[in-house]
Structure 1
Amino acid sequence: MTDAHRLTDRTALLRNRARAMRDPALFLHETALEELQHRLAMVNRTFKKPAIVTGFPDFWANALPEATIVPDEDVLTLGEQAHDLVIHAMSLQWANDPVGQIIQCRRALKPDGFFLAALLAGQTLFQLRAALAEAEVEKTGGLSPRILPMAEIRDLGGLLQRAGLALPVADNLALNVSYQTPFHLMRDLRAMGESNALAGRARHATRPSILARAAEIYQAHHSAESGRIPATFELVFLTGWAPDDSQPKPLRPGSATARLADALGTKEGQF
């Protein structure tokens, strides 16, 4: 992949994560873990060779100590058909090639192995994105990449099919968090390791006047009666299975053994 097509500056991303670990704010990871455990419980299967792809190895290794922890590099260090469960944990949003990441996970699964992913997407930080954009246009007359673009859930569901996974499902969970000011939110983003690591970002510090104006806009448009400001985080969860002959298959067109009209209690041609 050429630098011109890269979304993420990997060096900056790793630097941001290392800085975050000094005083981390990983409540989103904690929520994602709870949701993933709930989904695993619904599967009702014991997984003996799990692997987790993540940029936060300490947290996820402690959460699932039996799992092999793999960094979220462009090329994943996963053996082919080596695992019965692969979890991509809270880092797929930073992938330069998300389809390629999921394909690599699918190849690492044994037949009928389970893939699970949790990532930030959708409406995440829409308030901050709008406030920063308005402030920068007002102050400079232009825009620079500041916040990671967020994929929509319908597009993410399509990635599962493109990656060759069977029985794909995508669902989401919206979290609404409140902060004293937009600057407290920005501080938390640094402590999450989610601050700007875009390859196309400006290589100089943001002007204080832009940040101050963005905070004013944020407060004016979104503050509650208490004076606190809301911040939305949308977690999207993706699930799918490595193909296997034991899985249910869709019927061929024309192979139905019962008429739809009979099931609906109507006559054919009745509308």
Structure 2
Amino acid sequence: MENKVPPRIFSPSRRSALRRRMLALQQQPDAPRYLIDDMVEDVLDRLSFLRFEPRTALVIGDYSGTLAPSLGALGVSVAEAEPAFGFEEEKPWPFEQVDLIASLGTLDTLNDLPGALVHARKALAPGGMLIASFLSSGTLPTTREVMLAADGERPAPRLHPMVDVRSGAQLLQRTLYADPVVDQRPVNVAFRSFARLVADLRAQGISNVLADPGPPLGKSALERAKRAFAEAGEDGRTAERFEILTLSGWKR
């Protein structure tokens, strides 16, 4: 049977450039990190709840730099990988016999997500665990409406399609993880302006990496976006929601 080539939804070069820009912006003292902080805290909470004590771990995409030291303090030997620096999740991983893989905020912009999950499972030791968190369906509902209002009669692709809970469960089953668990949780944030939202998205690596990103917003469209964003809020703030999906499973 022939291997099917996954559709090219995302641009790998744009994705790498976006993450390099994100890492540069994260050097600023006031850089927003509320999404990665939530993911890191969730990993540590899950390990504590499960009483799982890995000896080795691979941490992917943690631009906060906090998970590896936290695991190290528990006696875990930790390796780190970052897609911006050449780690290719859609190819066989240069790691093996890892007790824990924690992937934070990277899997949602891959053309071959099932392939990446297979490579992750192969990198795990028997009895090892994958915890993968990323933004999912239901993220940025206000921004989606704002972009439609800004583009008018000719909407352009601004935000990429996202995995939902049901699809996440199917992915884990399809890629042969044992005892799969999928859950979703919201992170709600209020912004004073559309410009502040855009700055936070860029600093956390959530900008457009579609292979066909569409034309940039013109001046008039940008003004419509700002106005629509302000009108969607109250008392000078507009609420936005980020939905974090976490996939976890074991290698038996």
Give your verdict on TM over 0.5.
yes
Displacement over 6 Å in runs of 4+: 1-4
Deviation at 1:3, TM superposition (A): 9.7
Could you say which residue in structure 2 is the equivalent of 1:18?
Answer: 20
Deviation at 1:77, TM superposition (A): 2.5
Aligned-partner residue type, residue 156 of structure 1: G
Normalised by the length of structure 1, the TM-score is 0.80
Q: Between Structure 1 and Structure 2, whose CA radius of gyration is higher?
A: 1
CA RMSD of aligned residues (A): 2.2
Separation in 2, partners of 1:218, 1:3: 39
Could you say which residue in structure 1 is the equivalent of 2:230?
Answer: 219
Pairing 1:37-186 to 2, within 5 Å after superposition: 37-54=44-61, 56=63, 58=65, 60-65=67-72, 66-72=77-83, 73=88, 74-80=90-96, 82-136=97-151, 138=152, 141-186=153-198
Would you say 1:5 and 2:17 are equivalent positions? no
Aligned-partner residue type, residue 223 of structure 1: G
Q: Deviations over 1:30-70 (max 9, x none)?
A: 11100111001112121011112327384554554532112
Deviation at 1:210, TM superposition (A): 1.3
Name the SS for the 2:24 alignment partner: coil
Identity of aligned residues (%): 27
Are the aligned partners of 1:57 and 1:71 in contact in 2 as well (CA < 8 Å)? Answer: no
Consecutive unaligned residues in structure 2, runs of 5 or more? 27-31
Normalised by the length of structure 2, the TM-score is 0.85
Deviation at 1:179, TM superposition (A): 0.5
Aligned-partner residue type, residue 150 of structure 2: A
Q: Deviations over 1:142-183 (max 9, x none)?
A: 222211222211111111101100111111110110000122
Separation in 2, partners of 1:167, 1:184: 40
Name the SS for the 1:67 alignment partner: strand
Separation in 2, partners of 1:227, 1:91: 32
Q: How many residues align?
A: 236
Are the aligned partners of 2:36 and 2:62 in contact in 1 as well (CA < 8 Å)? Answer: no
